[in-house]
Structure 1
Amino acid sequence: MKPTEILAKATMPDGNSLELRRHDGDYVIRADGYDLMISRAHGSEESMMALACASPTAGMRVLVGGLGMGYTARAALDFVPEDGQVVVAELVEAVVEWNREYLGPLAGNPLDDARTKLVVDDVRRVILAGEGQFDVILLDVDNGPHAPTQRNNSWLYTPGGLDAIRRALRRGGAVAVWSVEEYPAFLHQLRAAGFNASGERVTSHHTRHSVYVGHRR
């Protein structure tokens, strides 16, 4: 049996531990002993862009909350036109370093694309500062609205957070939120915040996750 390698460790701003592991060619990012991301299972992250937007538009801007292993950013880059931009907000500097050193090739090195703008900051601040700036917002920052892994992320799913997301979107824009489990109550929260909401179950590598989409009314 091949051993598991611990490639790097880091501490998140809230004090929780973060670890990058590799086993038999697969990479895992663990948060406090929980497998947060696994390189072999990423289809649901890649589906977010297509679920949020039917077709690209000239000069469109997409905000990706959470770099992770780069799969969500890659899906956005594959969708937007040459004059578009993908803003990637990643809170943890170590995750950026891991992408540059280990993970980049998994998703075609999204940080090297000229259309990528990397912001090492809390996606909350990017949203609050970005009124009317984005066509699509993709949030893959934790386990989803029912169980955020970082306390700061809870704000994103509150009425105030959803209102800020709505204001950061251009007219007709959409937000897509990844969730490890089904959470139907979030559909009601999106609708109450001024979105037309829908949810999809997505299967990837024998694992099912949920993506919740809200189109700004």
Structure 2
Amino acid sequence: MAPAPFPNPAPPAEDDRPVVLDRREGPFGEVVLRRHGALLQIVANGCFLMDTSDGRSERLLVTEAFAALAGGGPAAAPPEVLIGGLGVGFSLVAAASEPGWGRITVLEREAAVIDWHRAGPLGELTAGALADPRVRLVHDDLLAHLRGVRAGYDALCLDIDNGPDWTVTEDNDGLYSPAGLAACRAALRPGGLLVVWSAHGSERFVENLRKAGFADVRTREVPVARGVPDVLFLASHHLARQSA
């Protein structure tokens, strides 16, 4: 069933408090879309997740993956990327703006977030990217999807929750577990790249990536306006990428 037309966004309140645009109860709890001044914000179970204020680290999640794959030499076919977590759409837009990507699959488990992009205010940011014929938007849980894939992607760019050491939704812990990392590695083609976004660093997660069989594990810090830097964890499948 197609989502109902989304109401026009309410203007910011005179006292500058966030204005709730939509509130949904889903299988993983409550998700809220609100407007605060010029910003759109997503809140899950009462915890702020993201907004449209910056997006540098979310874009780098994808651009760093493409640069690393391109640095590995020419391939017979354009690399295929899975973006885990639609969010406000920064990573999707970055991927669609790179003509060198092949298929771009975006996984999002919250139906409300998909609706906000397809028929709501977030469509202002992503309508062009969603119209790209390379883009496939899938409503599914990330780990459930990965467990059904074998060597299907050249890059996994995952922005799930706040990172490995503190998740808003307990179900998301599984991604960072040994079983979750094994599923990630199995879903990558030889020579593929895993990139994981986090709101903070984690030496424990770096070690867990190595234990899961990833090679060339490294981190990149991305400064933010306030607080500690965002962090990208990059880890390579240990075999050379094969031609299609």
TM over 0.5: yes
The residue that corresponds to 1:210 in the other structure is 231
Select which of 105, 109, 112 maps to 1:87. 105
The residue that corresponds to 1:201 in the other structure is 221
The residue that corresponds to 2:51 in the other structure is 38
Q: Which has the larger radius of gyration?
A: 2
Local SS of the residue matching 2:121 = helix
The residue that corresponds to 1:67 in the other structure is 86
CA distance in 2, matches of 1:135, 1:173: 4
Local SS of the residue matching 1:97 = helix
TM-score under structure 1 length normalisation: 0.92
CA distance in 1, matches of 2:171, 2:233: 20
1:60–1:80 Cα contact (<8 Å) kept: no
Select which of 122, 127, 152 maps to 2:141. 122
Which structure has more strand as a fraction of its residues? 1
Amino acid at match of 2:237: R
Query: 1:171-205 CA distances to partner (integer Å, 9 max, x unpaired)?
Result: 10011111111112111000111112111110244
2:117–2:127 Cα contact (<8 Å) kept: no
Select which of 22, 25, 29 maps to 2:42. 29
Q: What percent identity do the matched residue pairs reach?
A: 33
CA distance in 1, matches of 2:168, 2:191: 30
Q: Which stretch shifts more, 59-68 or 102-111?
A: 102-111
Select which of 53, 60, 64 maps to 1:51. 64
Query: 1:87-120 CA distances to partner (integer Å, 9 max, x unpaired)?
Result: 1110011100111211122246422221111110
Q: What are the equivalent positions in structure 2 for 1:102-113 lying under 5 Å apart?
A: 102-107=121-126, 109-113=128-132
CA distance in 1, matches of 2:171, 2:197: 16
Amino acid at match of 2:235: G
Offset at 1:206?
4.3
Q: Structure 1 stretches of 5 or more lacking a match? A: none
TM-score under structure 2 length normalisation: 0.82
CA distance in 2, matches of 1:205, 1:104: 25
2:164–2:176 Cα contact (<8 Å) kept: yes
The number of equivalent residue pairs is: 215
CA distance in 1, matches of 2:211, 2:132: 37
Q: Does 2:193 match 1:182? A: no
2:82–2:153 Cα contact (<8 Å) kept: yes
Offset at 1:10?
1.3
Local SS of the residue matching 2:49 = strand
2:104–2:135 Cα contact (<8 Å) kept: yes
CA distance in 2, matches of 1:33, 1:150: 11
1:12–1:18 Cα contact (<8 Å) kept: yes
Change (3 A) 1:65 1:195: same
